Structure 1
Amino acid sequence: MSALHFDEATHTYTENGVRVPSVTQILAPLNDLSFIKPDVLQFKRDLGTAVHKATELYDLGELDESTVSPLVQPYLDGWIRLRAELPFEILGMEERVFHPAHRYAGTYDRLVLLDGKRCIFDLKTGAMFPSYGPQTAAYKNAVEKASGKRVEGRYAIELRDDCTYRLHEMTDPEDWQVFLGCLALHRFKNKHAA
């Protein structure tokens, strides 16, 4: 039986006491953010975290909307709009998953039932990056391994600062292979680190 643990302070996963890489660490080489000033990057990360928490509390029915920052509100409004316009059932939310064969971990945003299909939703508040395909493929494969049930769809949900959303279906059949390539590179670099 797997014992997956996540340390919030260091953003690290361990499985039965052994550190395992996260999906975002593995895919880091695909996202060159060096052109973004560190303070802007930190602001965007903090905003993304706040939006994720607001949508999670909203979905749990525990959100006091009077406490939502004006910076977060438009993104939350986009999520509320999506929930009204695209009926789906939430099967899982902010769940940590571990892939025992490939030994990586991550936290998906939502596992939903959409049009009778189990799908991964990954919420985004910034620019759309090509790495979102491999990211959702990693979550999909970990969920399938843990549950024994097929996941038939993968979506990046772009929440925007104008209270709207965009639904981006991830359909590239090479996404899983790209993730595995990044995982191999991650392991190689760690093995040969000075």
Structure 2
Amino acid sequence: MAEFVDQIPQQPGLAFEEKTHQYILNGTQVLPSVTTLMKPLSDTLYAGIRPETLQAAAERGTEVHSTIEDYVTLGITDISEARRGYFEAFLRWMKDYNVQPLSVEHRAYHPALGYAGTLDMLCTLSKSDTDPQVLTLVDFKTSATVNKMLTGVQLEAYEQMLAATGLQVEQKAIVHLQADGRYQMPVYRKNDAESWRVFMACLTIHNHKQKYK
């Protein structure tokens, strides 16, 4: 596992400001996030959904992600009873796939294209003790369903961001955590050309709009 840890990109010039939800490079340069760039897609998907419903979903996701980070990095568990099932699903996934976390909430940016993002987890996993460990990029979801239009583009943007720093993941997956303690783990195709074209279109539109601000 040490060889994987050594490959994880370290980009100390990148900071994240919680209040403005902005990534700042070297103290001055604001980098758009993957989530921001994908707003033309997500806005279409979530159109018509009540703001309070979206807010509740965001708060649930934040709590579960924070609990996972605390558990992996500090070995502590602190989650509300209403959302405990999501964390139990995470623990079940960890056990089922012999997951070895390498990094959680890992911030990175694409040095050439100038976008940034936070990766939920880089880990190795395998289906059994006798199978080889596979370097995997994981994004956790706590939504009612997983929308592949969004998740495919999101994971591809992260994959290419890592590749630009020299790290080639062996697979990427969504771990869909559910309130009843169950989970699903759809695995996504590497180097998905269609998803990459869509993301690049979003980035092109963003950069064009910035020129006329």
The alignment covers a number of residue pairs equal to: 190
Which letter maps to 1:44? A
For 1:107 and 1:74, how far apart are their aligned partners in 2?
A: 24
2:6 matched to which residue of 1?
Answer: none
SS at match of 2:186: strand
2:167 is equivalent to residue 149 of structure 1: yes
2:141 is equivalent to residue 124 of structure 1: yes
1:182 matched to which residue of 2?
Answer: 202
2:97 is equivalent to residue 80 of structure 1: no
1:117, distance to aligned residue in structure 2 (A): 2.6
Structure 1 residues 111-157: Cα deviation after superposition (integer angstroms, max 9, x where no partner): 112343321100000031211111111111222223x2311211111
* Structure 1: unaligned runs, 5 residues or longer: none
Give runs of aligned pairs for residues 40-55 of structure 1, distance below 5 A. Answer: 40-55=53-68
RMSD: 1.6
2:73 is equivalent to residue 60 of structure 1: yes
Given the two structures, how large is their TM-score scaled by the length of structure 1? 0.91
* Structure 2: unaligned runs, 5 residues or longer: 1-10, 127-132
Which letter maps to 2:135? R
1:2, distance to aligned residue in structure 2 (A): 6.2
1:110, distance to aligned residue in structure 2 (A): 0.5
Which letter maps to 2:67? A
1:61, distance to aligned residue in structure 2 (A): 4.3
Match of 2:17 among 7, 28, 39: 7
Identity across matched positions, percent:
33
Given the two structures, how large is their TM-score scaled by the length of structure 2? 0.83
Match of 2:30 among 3, 15, 19: 19
2:101 matched to which residue of 1?
Answer: 90
For 1:106 and 1:83, how far apart are their aligned partners in 2?
A: 24
